[in-house]
Structure 1
Amino acid sequence: MTEILAQDTSRSGPNDGDRVIGHPAWPRLKSAVEEIRPWQSADGSIDFDAEGAPARAVAEAALDRVTEAVEQLSPLLPHDAAYHAALVADLRQWADSGFAVPDFLDSLLAFRPSADRTDGRQHLAVFPMYTQNGNPDRNLEAVVLRMVWPEWLAELERTRYDNPLFCGITFEDFTPGYDTNSAVFFPETIAVREAPERFTWGGIFCDREAARFRRVIDAAVTTLGVDLPEDIRALVADQGRCQQAFVLWDMVHDRTHSHGDLPFDPFMIKQRQPFWMYGLEELRCDLTAFREAVRLEADGFPQGRDVQYAVLFDRMFRFPVTGARERNYDGLGGQLLFAYLHQHDVVRWTDNTLRIDWERAPQVTNQLCAEIEELYRAGIDRPKLVHWFAAYELVSTYLAPHPGSRWAKGPDALDLSQPPRKLVDDVLPDEFPLSMFYEALAKKLKHVIAQTKGITADSAGPTGSEGSAGSAATDRTAA
């Protein structure tokens, strides 16, 4: 086991990383896709009457270049042959429809990366899609990715964390929709005529998550004067090691959405709920991954200890200060974790330095996980609105609500004759504002966070090595 656990999966698999992106057809494919994207409407169609639209023949010629490139690249990836054949058919059908709203259901059903998660296996995917935390429009995108599935992870999935649809992946290259903050590849984002009965895969780019983590955490701990133990310092400096931590974290997090005492649809599909409910669900899954990581460390898996640090640091130092404040449920979860640890004396901000009690951190973090799980277990017996208020009470025990909040004033301040989904309108966009600590930290880290847009493993060096954290390192008093 020791030999397996020591593997660096940052570029695992056959030494063929350039066989697709180094082929002359790949830049031609990218160029054709990037030519088409600006012509598309938000729904993926092309309106040839719109200002700046090309002649239909020009669009057809560009699409022909896409299909030709796919056909040239497909023999390099025989495991994707059926998908690429369906893809070419969907591309041609889109042109035949006059470039109406695209429908790539047939090629989506043929794309099955989870069927064989061989470590290092490459895939070339082309779809009209939006990218979460990236481009909201269903533009044509192309991405070359590589599977991350080392034997130690495959064994854990087989024996402890069954998740047959999960795909840990890394970027090889991509079109502009992924030159963003998106770190996921989900079938739900693809333009289809109807949703399939069930989705068969879901991918998370652990290289982008690791690179983003390293860049932001390096700046945060410098800004806050955190005294890192040597093993954590080594983690932040090692892209391959961080990727191993994130692929394990993601696999356990993903399966947790459908495990445990769940008083509602875990993915909350077609449900309208206050955003703190989403925040608690994402935090529950992360804290479950943390708890499992503690057990894995005890069982001799070094990635278990790394996952604990990754969860704590990403949740406390990156999530709360990333993105807009409007219904930022991931930010809320990070705020809650920090406040809980602070109010239980695990973290202390004293003399412009953040101190962490490393010995008590696992125990207290698991304690918060238990509180959320008890909320869920009790929620099975509650009406929806009562459950929402119970969740609000849990969050507001540790985080101060906005002083203008109606929800903070209790049920008497709301019109309870309305259905629960209507009462969501009374939730403020920033129901739990940032603390003074986080307001100051956000100002210190905003430039570093902006630099993580489109980041990959190849551009993942900690900020200090590239000079981008210099201002953070020189003055910690404002935080």
Structure 2
Amino acid sequence: MCSVAPRGGRRLDVVAAHPLVASDAWLGLKAAVTDLRELQAADGSVPEATDHADAARHVARLVAGIQAMAPELPHDADYLEALVKDFGRWAESGFGVPDFYDSLVAFAPAQHRVDGQMHLVVFPMYTQNGNPNRQVEAVLLEVIWPDFVAELEGGDYSNKLFLPIRFLDFTAGYDTNSAVLFPETVAMREVPAFTWGGIFADREAARFRRVVSEAAAVTRLSLPPDAARLVADQELAERAFVMWDLIHDRTHMHGDLPFDPFMIKQRMPYFLYSLEELRCDLTAFREAVALEAEGHPYARSVQYAVLFDRIFRFAITGDRTRNYDGLGGQLLFAWLHQKGVLHWTDNRLTIEWERVAEPVLELGRAVEDLYWRSIDRPKTAHWLAAYHLVASVLTPHPLSAWARHRDGDLAALPLDGPPKGLTDAVLPDEFPLSMFYEALSKKMKDVIESTSGITGASA
């Protein structure tokens, strides 16, 4: 076994699932990356000339590790060769802002998705929900591609870019809440056409299990037997998350979308991102309902995963500044409560399991109708309609200019200027937590924090 140390001094024992994890080559490479990161600035460069000799030594150790591991990874031969060249070019040019375009383009792990296939990933990159700086990271991972997912992807749920993965070991940028590996985070001279996007299903499943287990105990929620099995079984949870992510990810580009999809970089009110992420999750829920009717063995687990992760983890994870995932969780919880299938009575949470699916599907239809109408509306009108949908379920902040406009004060928002003014008028916490969530957040704080750096092996 080897160990990584998450923030706060807590140590996680990580099972060495592959001999390379305990190899001298990997351990030496990982140590070199750790040393190199200490010299890097936020943009990935090594700005101090007095550090360049040390940086060169660290890069030489790192490259030696890559070359020693390469024979074990023949499917990545072209990428690893390009990676060595990119590190050499970076060192020879004086450790400026790194450019790893060539090795990134050569890395195409989604072209051959094989269950258990291993990859070594080394790039100067930031990690979403982790390290915001483009420092060098090193990750050993394996692909999760069970037969049932291959069948789904080969049928109605085609998603050629989707790469579900599992941690084997990693450097400090992933000793965080980050559960994705996206090529757009890598330092590069230009943006290529991306061919893959990785999601660490083991981390998603592990933190889901830990958070939902505690939340059910705190709220005294009685889980159905199949939901209890999902929370107790890491492998089952991983498979549910892979299936959920497959459908969620492809949904971003499917359906009656606004002409300018949310993924294109633009500055919009954060509640629009909430609705887009929620739309994709509710689509996954809807498809899981249909697949359950066809007898799919993991479809029911996907429904539980969407429901529990949204209302328990998403709603109270992260700060309150434009927390669009948190808002989506609040919205789902309040919608189900107002539809009479979720109850908080006598300090106990109950869910009417036989009735809960239809209200979830109804919320999905409401979001889809908003999107369908969007192509006939100006951008400002679409934004206002989206706000009205959210505000019809959740109570806005008392100081909200958007809420004043909704209530009839037409001068509360700068409607005669560019859309930027509307975005600026959104409060950082436009829809504060309810009293229920304020209390739950306090009780769940330690457990939420404990999931930073978690993996399937350490759950």
TM-score relative to the length of structure 2? 0.95
Name 1:70's counterpart in structure 2.
66
Distance 2:370 2:53 in 1: 59
How far did 1:448 drift? 0.3
Asked if 2 retains the 8 angstrom alpha-carbon contact of 1:169 and 1:203, the reply is yes
Classify the secondary structure of the residue corresponding to 1:108. helix
How far did 1:19 drift? 3.0
- Listed as ranges, the matches of 1:302-451 within 5 Å are 302-410=297-405, 411-451=410-450
Amino acid at match of 1:41: A
Over the residues paired in the alignment, what is the CA RMSD in angstroms? Answer: 1.0
Asked if 2 retains the 8 angstrom alpha-carbon contact of 1:293 and 1:305, the reply is yes
How far did 1:455 drift? 0.1
Amino acid at match of 1:146: E
Name 1:88's counterpart in structure 2.
84
Matched, 1:121 2:117: yes
How far did 1:26 drift? 0.4
How far did 1:409 drift? 1.1
Matched, 1:34 2:34: yes
Distance 1:118 1:458 in 2: 20
Name 1:476's counterpart in structure 2.
none
Distance 2:107 2:420 in 1: 36
Classify the secondary structure of the residue corresponding to 1:363. helix
Amino acid at match of 1:88: V
Q: 1:296 aligns with which of 276, 288, 291?
A: 291
Name 2:269's counterpart in structure 1.
274
How far did 1:22 drift? 2.5
Name 2:247's counterpart in structure 1.
252
Asked if 2 retains the 8 angstrom alpha-carbon contact of 1:19 and 1:76, the reply is no
How far did 1:265 drift? 3.0
Distance 1:18 1:170 in 2: 12
Distance 2:400 2:262 in 1: 26
Q: How many correspondences in the alignment?
A: 440
Distance 2:419 2:168 in 1: 45
Distance 1:265 1:380 in 2: 10
Classify the secondary structure of the residue corresponding to 1:398. coil
Q: 2:104 aligns with which of 90, 101, 108?
A: 108
Asked if 1 retains the 8 angstrom alpha-carbon contact of 2:414 and 2:421, the reply is no
Name 1:3's counterpart in structure 2.
none
Amino acid at match of 2:326: G
Measured against aligned partners, the alpha-carbon deviations of 1:137-168 in whole angstroms (never above 9, x if no partner) come to 00000001100011111011011100001001
Amino acid at match of 1:287: L
Distance 1:457 1:439 in 2: 29
Measured against aligned partners, the alpha-carbon deviations of 1:8-62 in whole angstroms (never above 9, x if no partner) come to xxxxxxxx9423212210000000000000111110001115xxxx532111011
Q: 2:220 aligns with which of 221, 225, 231?
A: 225
Asked if 2 retains the 8 angstrom alpha-carbon contact of 1:130 and 1:136, the reply is yes
Moved over 3 A (4+): none
Classify the secondary structure of the residue corresponding to 1:262. coil
How far did 1:234 drift? 1.0
Distance 1:267 1:181 in 2: 23
Distance 1:76 1:268 in 2: 36
Name 2:23's counterpart in structure 1.
23
Classify the secondary structure of the residue corresponding to 2:260. coil
Name 2:181's counterpart in structure 1.
185
How far did 1:412 drift? 2.5
Distance 1:442 1:56 in 2: 46
Asked if 1 retains the 8 angstrom alpha-carbon contact of 2:212 and 2:313, the reply is yes
Amino acid at match of 1:432: F
Distance 1:267 1:191 in 2: 23
Sequence identity, in percent?
Answer: 60
How far did 1:285 drift? 0.1
Asked if 2 retains the 8 angstrom alpha-carbon contact of 1:105 and 1:192, the reply is yes
Q: 1:200 aligns with which of 184, 195, 219?
A: 195
Classify the secondary structure of the residue corresponding to 2:142. strand
- Listed as ranges, the matches of 1:204-219 within 5 Å are 204-219=199-214
Q: 2:130 aligns with which of 134, 144, 154?
A: 134
Classify the secondary structure of the residue corresponding to 1:457. coil
Amino acid at match of 1:118: V
Amino acid at match of 1:425: D
Classify the secondary structure of the residue corresponding to 1:153. helix
Asked if 1 retains the 8 angstrom alpha-carbon contact of 2:39 and 2:51, the reply is no
Name 2:234's counterpart in structure 1.
239
Q: Structure 2 unaligned segments of length 5 or more: list them.
A: 1-15
